[in-house]
Copies of this chain bind each other. A is one copy, B any other.
Amino acid sequence: MTIPADSVGLVTPQRVTIDTPLLLSCGETLNSYDLVYETYGELNPEKDNAVLICHALSGHHHAAGYHSNAEGEKPGWWESCIGPGKAIDTNKFFVVVPNNIGGCHGTSGPNTINPKTGKVWGPDFPKLRFRDWVNSQAQLADLLGIDAWAAIVGGSLGGMQAMRWSLEYPDRVRHCLLIATAMNLTPQNIAFNELARRAIVADPNFADGWFLEKDVSPVRGLALARMIGHVTYLSQNQMEERFGRELREGSFERGINSPIQFEIESYLNYKGDRFAEEFDANTYILITRMLDVFDLAREYDHDPVKAFSRARAKFLVVSFSTDWRFSPERSYEIVNALVGANRDVSYVNIDTHLGHDGFLSPIPRYVDALSSYLGNISCGGGQ
């Protein structure tokens, strides 16, 4: 296949073993861990043009470009925004996208080997918190010679990482782009995560998390978990427009007793099944639990203004009108806290029917907002 000219093109994931011990929030220490990441563009001599992309729940390090030019090869998950001349312009920026620890795409996580036992970590992988991700990314920045990120960009739980970065390493973040995110989960968010976890652990093939050891796979539980999540990423309007009450199979006619399947069911089942083939059930449980526990201002007396008073970055906050997973109201809370803390903040609400999934979509006004904001960041002594 021909790779489009506005793509970063063929990319190869990189792997680094970090031997600086990482003290985790839970009290355990990772003496050594692997990080898989991709980079696009070039670090400039001033080393001030690096952008960190924090991926979301189902994301990973492959955000842009292609791993091969085989027919049908799909680009990275944010190809619409990362590339030469795109919103996150690789002619200007050096873009770094690590796969998070605890993930399941090559970085140390439940599906990798625990050096202490020689077996897979499985459910014994340490219970992480967001600051552990941030600290591991800081170690990666050290290795890459990046003192401060020109920008950290994250959507959904990626935005939570970006916020945490701005408090943990205030001098290492110049700009923070918080997209479709929130300072903590609502009880409803937690409820959906718990349903997902319960779907996974109810699958006999989950085997208390030791499915890799036992060579089984909790695909039914994991697929259902993903379906539960997926419903909350879509808006009512979008479902109406895209699926309505159309049938995929069967008939409404009376006297016909064939099984009925609606398009929306078929779609969710398909999405769930595909996800279950490539994701790790322990990672899903680990990360949803991290999400539940995340609370930006907890150690700042639950005062978001006090929390953001620690930050030094400038902020762009983006929400999506029909997002009910992380609603615009949750973004207002961030903006209000930033204003209260005298931070420099821009805010844009994107009118769309795409719900939470909007943050991964090339909605023109959204892409323009990112492009305009990032275009104004100065690097290398110039614009």
A residues whose Cβ falls under 8 Å from a Cβ of B = 25-28, 126-127, 129, 184-188, 190-192, 194-195, 198-199, 202-204, 220-221, 224, 227-228, 231, 234, 236, 239-240, 243-245, 252, 254-257, 260, 262-265, 268-269, 289, 292-293, 295, 298
Contacts and interface: CB of A to CB of B under 8 A. Distances in A.
Contacts of A186: 236, 239-240
Given A255-B27, A293-B252, A265 B224 contact: no
In order of increasing CB-CB distance, the 3 nearest A-B pairs are A187-B239, A27-B255, A187-B264
Given A25-B255, A26-B257, A260-B289, A227 B195 contact: yes
A7 B204 CA distance: 47
B25 A195 contact: no
A224 B198 contact: yes
Nearest to A221: B202
Contacts of A185: 245
A203 to B, nearest CB: 7
6 contacts: A184-B245, A188-B234, A191-B265, A195-B224, A198-B227, A260-B292
Contacts of A25: 254-255
A239 B293 contact: no
A188 B224 CA distance: 16
Contact of A231 (B192, B204, B260): B192
Contacts of A254: 25-27, 129
Pick from A129, A187, A199, A243 the residue with the most CB of B within 10 Å. A187
A158 to B, nearest CB: 21
A100 to B, nearest CB: 19
- Please state the number of chain copies in the assembly: 2
Contacts of A184: 245
A170 B293 CA distance: 55
Contact of A127 (B221, B257, B265): B257
A233 B56 CA distance: 28
Nearest to A185: B245
A236 B126 CA distance: 32
Contacts of A264: 187-188, 190-191, 194
Contacts of A289: 260
A231 B195 contact: yes
Pick from A245, A252, A263, A289 the residue with the most CB of B within 10 Å. A245
Pick from A126, A202, A257 the residue with the most CB of B within 10 Å. A202
A295 B245 contact: yes
A191 to B, nearest CB: 5
Given A224-B199, A252-B295, A265 B231 contact: no
A260 B25 CA distance: 14
Contacts of A243: 187
Given A25-B254, A188-B231, A260-B293, 15 more contacts: A26-B255, A26-B256, A127-B257, A187-B239, A187-B245, A187-B263, A191-B265, A194-B264, A194-B269, A199-B202, A202-B221, A202-B224, A245-B295, A252-B298, A260-B289
A239 B185 CA distance: 12
Nearest to A194: B265
Contacts of A28: 257
A203 B199 CA distance: 10
A263 B292 CA distance: 12
Nearest to A218: B202
A255 to B, nearest CB: 4
